[in-house]
Structure 1
Amino acid sequence: MSQSIKSFILPLAMLIGGVFYGFFSQIAVAIPYFIFAMLFLTFCRLSPHEVRLHRLHAVLLLIQIGGGLALYYALAFLNVTVAEGVFMCVLAPTAMAATVITGMLGGNAGFMATYTLISNVGMAVLAPAVFALLGKQEGLSFAQTFLYVCRQLAPMLVLPLAVAWGLRWIVPKVHQAIAAKSHLTFYIWALSLTSITGRTVRFLIEQPNPDYRTETVIALLALVVCLVQFKSGKALGSRWGDRIATGQAMGQKNTILAIWMAQSYLNPIASVGPASYVLWQNIVNSYQIWLKGHRERQALKKNAEEAKNLAREKNNV
């Protein structure tokens, strides 16, 4: 399937989920399994020999965690729900599709694949401590909250890696057959987006005391955060030699996981942040892909004109 068609499927998935929210919200309970499947297929394509750690990976992970907490505490004294929505837009790990987009834009796909692994698996280790620090599970201590979140996140984020690499070593033929089907990740992502959108829309429609002003503020701040993360990532990457990969690492988020975590551990209204971030990041990436194609077409046109001029000069001689 061409990238141009794929770019329409994800917005269509959100639209279908929003219109038929009654049905798709009911299958949102399967989101953890969808996330497991997407990570499993992604890690099946990633060889352990391709994992090369870089100091920039540590810097990006620090920004992901530290930046999210800094924004949360900066906004919490104004509105805790808004703070949670913005926080999730930064805390969310890098999307599985970021490696593909990085390759399309001419960036370092190997660097991106390694950070996708670090970002998502690292979330299983760090997120329980972060949510325990925020104390969002009423009646539970820090240790109890940590264990509660860890029991839910660790199997979903760590097991896919263990199973994928275990199959690679134990039954390589089975692993190769599964890796050949890694394109299914996109369709699982679309189904996940449909169901999580349905769940979000259902909550917004059926909430007893709607606060549309807060939800609008969260959506607009998610746009600001999205643009800042893409721009900051590129600026940081310019210093380390790969602005495209670093921009994707910071800007393109695993919003399915972020929405699920917001609805599970925070005020459900906070999920409006990562839900709207889906739209913003797809607009940014669609523009970047179009711009790259436009520049390539312009370069080809210029080269063709120069070749024609050179041919005319030779004929005149």
Structure 2
Amino acid sequence: MITGAIGYQFFSLLAPFTPFLIFTMLLLTFCKVSPRELRFEKLHFWLIALQLIGSLLIYFSIAGFNSDVAEGAMICMLAPTATSAAVITGMLGGSVSCLTTYTLLSNVVVALSAPVIFSLMGNNSTMPFFSSFFYICKQVFPVLILPFICAWFIQAKLPKIHSKVLSMPMASFYLWTVALAIVVGKTVAFLVNQKSTNYTNEILVAASGLVICCLQFFLGKSIGGHFKNRISGGQALGQKNTILAIWMAQVYLNPIASVGPASYVLWQNTINSWQLWKKRKKDEAASQRQ
């Protein structure tokens, strides 16, 4: 994030490559998921309903006061689960299989619903609905749905390539760092090139990202606790694919809205660090008692 912010003039020029990086990261992630391992649970459908309905409620409850804040908060809620969430879930002692299934589900559902939602707001709201809908579908589907199809085709028909992909477990992480630098650079470039020196809206959007982050972790854990899967529920709803969220905000909404998911990177990683520290202290205390 610091590298992207400092070198924003260079990294912002690489913004056109963001969709390709997102596609590749999702492809590498989905290649690790076997269709036989997918187990859909009631928890998943409660979480996806909250994710979709919650994003609309947040937008329409705030839009009348500040549309920029409404869009920033909405995209933080709508964004699908991060592909790295399964790693954190495993470290916290949650169900990795449950989280992996939800990651796939949330990406597919967002790909199907985002064109409808974005057609009603942001830069596309002035276009005829179907023109806006198909325009967004044309851009979103290749990024979110095509990796899913390609991954399962590689698993089924190209075992050598599949084995090669599995032998590079850190590849998606390095791609993520590059993509993060690019989207942060793009956001900083937008802020720097603004004619206005009043950053009140940007501060409000970042603050809304903090509120939405805490709210999603809390609601995810609460719903997950009801289904005896508290950790997975919290990570599924709270840990977001922020790179995708920033890209969607920059392309389909007011660019100021991208400050929300950009700040969300800091908020969610702060919460994850605290959770991991808390888990380590608990494990140390348990080992001392034995």
Q: Is the counterpart of residue 57 in structure 1 residue 44 in structure 2?
A: yes
Aligned 1:249-264 pairs, distance under 5 A: 249-264=236-251
**Does the aligned pair in 2 maintain the 1:45–1:182 contact within 8 Å?**
no
Could you tell me how far apart the structure 1 residues matched to 2:198 and 2:260 are?
A: 14
Q: Is the 8 A contact 2:122 2:254 kept in 1?
A: no
Map of 2:74 onto structure 1 = 87
Residue number in structure 2 paired with 1:311: none
Q: Does 1:209 align with 2:209?
A: no
Contact kept? 2:59, 2:74, Cα under 8 Å: yes
- Aligned counterparts of 1:155 and 1:228: Cα–Cα separation in 2: 31
- Aligned equivalents of 1:183 and 1:122: distance in 2? 26
Q: Secondary structure at the match of 1:34?
A: helix
Match of 1:109 in 2: 96
The one-letter code matched in structure 2 to 1:176 is S
Q: Provide the C-alpha distance between the structure 2 equivalents of 1:224 and 1:133, rounded to a whole number of angstroms.
A: 24
Structure 1 partner of 2:162: 175
RMSD over aligned CA atoms reads 1.1
Separation in 2, partners of 1:26, 1:210: 23
Instruction: Work out the CA distance in 2 between the residues paired with 1:251 and 1:278.
Output: 11
In structure 2, the residue matched to 1:29 is 16
Match of 1:196 in 2: 183
Query: Which stretch shifts more, 66-75 or 51-60?
Result: 51-60
Q: CA shift at 1:61, angstroms?
A: 1.1
Write the letter of the residue equivalent to 2:195: P
Contact 1:42 1:182 in 2 (8 A): no
Instruction: List runs of 5+ in structure 1 lacking aligned partners.
Output: 1-13, 304-317
Q: Which residue of 1 aligns with 2:147?
A: 160
Larger Rg: 1
* SS of alignment partner, residue 52 of structure 1: coil
Q: Which residue of 2 aligns with 1:284?
A: 271
1:293 lines up with 2:290 in the alignment: no
Asked if structure 2 preserves the Cα contact closer than 8 Å seen for 1:43 and 1:160, the reply is yes
Quick check: 1:275 aligned with 2:262? yes
1:129 is the counterpart of 2:116: yes
The equivalent of 1:75 in structure 2 is: 62
8 A contact 1:218–1:270 mirrored in 2: yes
TM-score for both structures, normalised by structure 2: 0.97
Q: Quick one: distance in 2 between partners of 1:222 and 1:28?
A: 22
Contact preservation (8 Å) 2:122, 2:253: no
Could you give the per-residue CA deviations for residues 188-233 of structure 1, whole angstroms, max 9, x where no partner exists?
1111111110010010011122441111111112111111110111
Q: Which runs of 5+ in 2 are unaligned?
A: none
One-letter identity of the residue aligned with 1:140: M
For 1:207 and 1:302, how far apart are their aligned partners in 2? 58
Change over 3 Å in CA distance of 1:210–1:29 after alignment to 2: farther
| Percent identical residues | 48
CA displacement at 1:127 relative to structure 2: 0.4
Q: Contact (CA 8 Å) 2:242, 2:261: kept in 1 or not?
A: yes
Q: Check the 8 A contact 1:44/1:164 in 2, yes or no.
A: yes
